[in-house]
Amino acid sequence: MPEGTEIQSAGASKVMGDILGQFDIAMGGILLIDVVQALLLSGSVPPTKILIAFPLAISGAIFSPYVYCPVSVCGLLSYS
């Protein structure tokens, strides 16, 4: 390669690099939340249970009205 040239990522490679950069920030935030909860709750087991249960609770809150009863959407909307 001639001197003064450089390789730059473009297209899908650039998008993947941007996503992975943002993923690092998100994982750092989650780790920070876990550390703060561990300090507040005096241990690492309860915060880990909370972090595992949170995505499951969100998916259940979103999909359960469509599976069980559309009337339960009223309960979901009352919290927003």
Residues 34 and 51 sit within 8 Å (Cβ to Cβ): yes
Q: What is the DSSP string of 5-39?
A: ------THHHHHHHHHHHHHHHHHHHHHHHHHHHH
pLDDT digits (tens, 9 = 90+) for 25-54: 888 888 898 888 888 888 878 888 888 888
Total domain count, the chain: 1
**Is there a domain that residue 7 lies in?**
no
**pTM for this predicted structure:** 0.49
For residue 42, what are the domain limits? 12-78
**Is there a domain that residue 4 lies in?**
no
CA 33 to chain centre: 12
pLDDT digits (tens, 9 = 90+) for 8-21: 777 887 888 888 88
**Is there a domain that residue 1 lies in?**
no
Q: What is residue 79's three-state secondary structure?
A: coil
How confident is the model at residue 76, as a pLDDT?
Answer: 65
**Is there a domain that residue 2 lies in?**
no
**Is there a domain that residue 19 lies in?**
yes
